[in-house]
Amino acid sequence: MMEKLFQERKEKLVFFKRLRNKINHQTRNEIPDGLYCKCASCNETILQKVLVNNLYVCPRCGHHHQLPAHQRLALLYDQGRYKELYQQIEHLNPLDFPGYDEKIKMLQDKTKLDEAVVVASGKINGTKVITCVMDSRFLMGSMSSAVGEKITRVIEHATKRKYPLIIFCASGGARMQEGIYSLMQMAKTSSALARHHEAGLLYISYITHPTTGGVTASFAMLGDIIIGEPHALIGFAGARVIESTIKQKLPEGFQRTEFMEKQGFIDLIVKRQDMRSTIIRILKMHSKGAK
């Protein structure tokens, strides 16, 4: 029965992707649009269609490639239906950073996203759930004022309406171009989460590749339950900075979800094909009817 469900999901995903007339994305570590692409881990040449149908997971080695925000939402919500909230948010350029406004505009055109996070509401197995999905195609998923604002707004909304919350993290950390404003978004989002927490509501933090810097040091590590995707990077400082500080090589698998699970900072690692079903099980155990 589960298989049938997944088959349906996959079909919907393909349909959905066609509907969104294929988003263009060509940064590193990403799957370029085309007939074929290469797995970033095992180098296997894969039919693009096959990879998409396999939820962007390499059919040969199981490597989880980055999943664009809307594809993840479509995969997560019932019938792939959800409502995107707080779109077309205003941008700040508090440092008057040269070329920053143009860069945002260019990325908006290229990714069809308004910022590095998509926030949405919809039903998962009939339960209303608020979701934030960060998308690393947009300036490495870095934390801008707009990202902080969208996430804070939606947390406040979830607190007010008593909805559970899921944040899919993916971020290079701070948005350098916004300076101290970016840093303060860590305090802003964490303060909003404190209220959601005090209201006794469920927050699932979902670590996807890569989650680093200020996002790790704020909402990524504040989940009641912290889930990791296989082999996703999760850490605070960059590996190169650490190596140059301590003058030694870092161990194999350092700052990967499996490593941090062993260290006691991640509750469980879930394969993408089990994402929705795992979330449904967790939601059920937190529903009012559960005894």
Partner 1 sequence: MALIDLEKQITQLQQQLSNSENKEEQKALKIQIAKLKDEAYNNISAYDRVYMARKSNRPHIQDYIQNIFDDFIELHGDRLYLDDGSIMGGIALLDNQPVTVIGHAKGRTLDENLHCNFGMSSPEGYRKALRLMKQAEKFHRPIITFIDTPGAYPGLEAEQHGIGEAIARNLREMATLSVPVIAVVVGEGGSGGALALSVADRILMLENSVYSILSPEGFASILWKDKEGTRVKEAASLMKLTAKDLYEMKIIDHIIKEPKTGATVTSQKVYEQLKDYFIKTILELNKLSKTNLLNKRYQKYRTIGQVSVL
Question: Which parts of this chain interact with partner 1 (CB under 8 A)?
Answer: 86-92, 94-95, 97, 144-146, 148-149, 152-153, 174, 176-188, 190-195, 197-198, 213-214, 216-222, 234-238, 241-242, 245-246, 248, 250-251, 254-255, 260, 263-265
Beta carbon of residue 4, minimum distance to partner 1 (angstroms, whole number): 39
**Closer residue to partner 1 (CB): 45 or 88:** 88
Please, how many CA atoms are within 13 Å of residue 230, restricted to the half-sphere of its CB?
Answer: 15
Question: Which of 71, 144 has the CB closer to partner 1?
Answer: 144
CB of 46 to partner 1, least distance (A): 33
Contact in structure between 132 and 151 (CB atoms under 8 Å): yes
Least separation, in Å, of the C-beta of 219 and partner 1? 7
Find the angle CA(284)-CA(258)-CA(154) to the nearest 5 degrees: 45
Nearest to partner 1 of 47, 187 (CB atom): 187
Q: Residue 168: CB partners within 8 Å, gap ≥ 6? A: 69, 72, 131, 132, 133, 134, 206, 208
Distance CA(101)–CA(93), nearest Å, equals: 7
Q: Whole-number minimum distance, CB 17 to partner 1, in Å?
A: 27
Nearer to partner 1, 21 or 263 (CB): 263
C-alpha of 48 from chain center = 21
Instruction: Output 31 or 154, the one with its CB closest to partner 1.
Output: 154
Query: Which residues touch 282 (CB under 8 Å, ≥6 apart)?
Result: 202, 204, 225
Smallest distance, Å, CB 85 to partner 1?
9
